[in-house]
Amino acid sequence: MNNFNQEFPEFLKNFEQNLKHLFQEKHDIDQLSLQRGLPPELLKEIMDHVPLSVAIPSAFGGRGSKVKECLGILSAASYESLSLSLTFGINIALFLEPVAKYGNEEIKQGIFDRFLHEQNMGGLMITEPNFGSDALNMRTTNVATEEGYKIKGTKHWQGLTGMANYWIVATRNEGNDASLSRDIDFFVCDDTKPDQKITVEEYYDNAGLYLIPYGLNQLDLNVPKNHKLQPETTGIKMMLDILHRSRMQFPGMGMGFIKRMLDEAYNQCNNRKVGIGNLLGMDNVKFQISRLQAAYTICSAMCAKSSSISGIENNLATEGLEANTMKTVVTDFMQEAAQLLVQLSGAKGYRTTHIGGRGIMDSRPFQIFEGSNEMLYAQIGEMIIKAMKKQKQPQLYQYLKDFPLTSKATDHFKQELSFNPDEQLSQRKMVDLGRIVARIICVGYVIELGEKGFRKELVANCIIMLQQEVASLITSLRFNNAVIEVSDYHMDSLWLDFA
């Protein structure tokens, strides 16, 4: 077992070396990824290094719940396996940090001890079959009893289904008249206790992330009073704080993954001979590698920013703009990075046993879970339009120039942003606006990272890449497209009749 008193660079280096040995030497991750689940002996060897100690406060024997360390562990894991990194991400952001911040003091030490010494895991249950992103209308109920609370309901698509030892379960209080509270309550459930045992009805055939079990869960539980999480104000704000903090940890999972895609792509292009040279001698290949380097730079900047703002000592309930920006942009770049690697790898990349082909399917759900990217981009657009109206500032450039998150970046986009967006933007245009603003916020992060000494060529190239992307998105935003679907489209549209 690792010494928690080690300086973090040494702790991280030992963990990285262990993962490399386990995934590239002792076991073959390419072959392991063809089957579902992680072999128990391999998981034990990984967990022997107690990586989740980074998310446990030092008062309870952990490394201190420092964001920088959490992101470092997530990045180390995702370089070898995105599934492993998400497993850690679920444990850290959706269980350990919420328990550390909102859990009853009476239960914390017992829970954290089992993570530190018994390799336990935990997850979060919010989503229901009929209520995905519409979480506030969930139907899982809690009713107070003499001993604690009775919880009943159905949850699904929880990562680590049937595998986690602990769950935080989101519910709504049921009144005497069977009405449900508008607020949300969260409870810690210990799946090893008979009266808190969650029944897995079905395991899903998830198309990617084979190492993580997902499924359908039935809940009929009795939990003690002190297992209820204690919000600072309301349960909804507690949920927003938890989800926003989780979204701000996505760059940790993206970091190692994007770096691996970049390293693999560079090696492929350097070693693949074409004529008298190699693939790197081709202009479009240089452009594609530069896109990967831009993703690497943006993700690095996000990790640095997240490390300074997303600790459990901060309440992130109102920080939706930055949380949505980090989650959407990094997951878009994760998917693009995998697509680029497969494209550069040719036919061999299109295999589950190739990290690129696997990466396409493994990174795709990151654009969907914890809020689909289109929904989160629309929310960003709505926040900006609402703030512009409040300030009576109709021009996008003038507003963003004075807005703290974009003030450093706007001069790179002055020409493109000098227009007045329609106050009544359609939803599709809100998504475009959100994409634009999110990327400009990211340029601000990159500039800040450059000011700290990050490689200046990477910073300069990244800004140019984002300038091109924003220019394209603004063209889309300003293009008048109000096309809607054609009903009964199959009428008069069979090509065989016209050939």
Tell me: the pLDDT tens digits for 370-423? 999 999 999 999 999 999 999 999 999 999 999 999 999 999 999 999 999 988
Q: Rounded mean pLDDT of the chain?
A: 96
Encoded tokens for 177: 């008249």
Instruction: Give φ, ψ of 370 to 5 degrees.
Output: 55, 40
pLDDT bucket at 16, cuts 50 / 70 / 90: very high
Note every long-range contact of 265-270, with CB atoms under 8 Å and residues 24 or more positions apart, other chains counting. Answer: 265/289, 265/292, 265/340, 265/341, 265/344, 265/345, 268/341, 268/344, 268/345, 269/344
DSSP 353: T
d(CA 51, CA 77): 10
Average pLDDT of the residues in 181-185: 97
**Cα torsion through 92, 245, 183, 228, rounded to 10:** 30
Q: What is the pLDDT of residue 423?
A: 82
Average pLDDT of the residues in 224-247: 98
Average pLDDT of the residues in 319-338: 98
d(CA 28, CA 44): 16
Contacts of 477 (CB under 8 A, 6+ apart): 421, 429, 432, 433, 436
Q: 295 near 337, Cβ under 8 Å?
A: yes
Cα of first residue to Cα of last residue in the chain, in angstroms, is 72
DSSP 3-state of 271: helix
Average pLDDT of the residues in 454-473: 98
Q: What is the pLDDT of residue 413?
A: 97
Q: What is the pLDDT of residue 276?
A: 82
Q: What is the pLDDT of residue 304?
A: 98
Q: What is the pLDDT of residue 1?
A: 47
Encoded tokens for 208: 């990617």
pLDDT bucket at 3, cuts 50 / 70 / 90: low
d(CA 144, CA 27): 49
Average pLDDT of the residues in 314-326: 98
For 235-255, b/e burial (b = at least 16 CB within 10 A) is bebbbbbbbbbbbbbbbbbbb
For residue 480, pLDDT over 70 is answered with yes
Query: How far from 364 is each of 244, 338, 360, 497, CA to CA, in Å?
Result: 20, 9, 6, 38
Instruction: Give φ, ψ of 64 to 5 degrees.
Output: 120, 0
Encoded tokens for 22: 């386990």
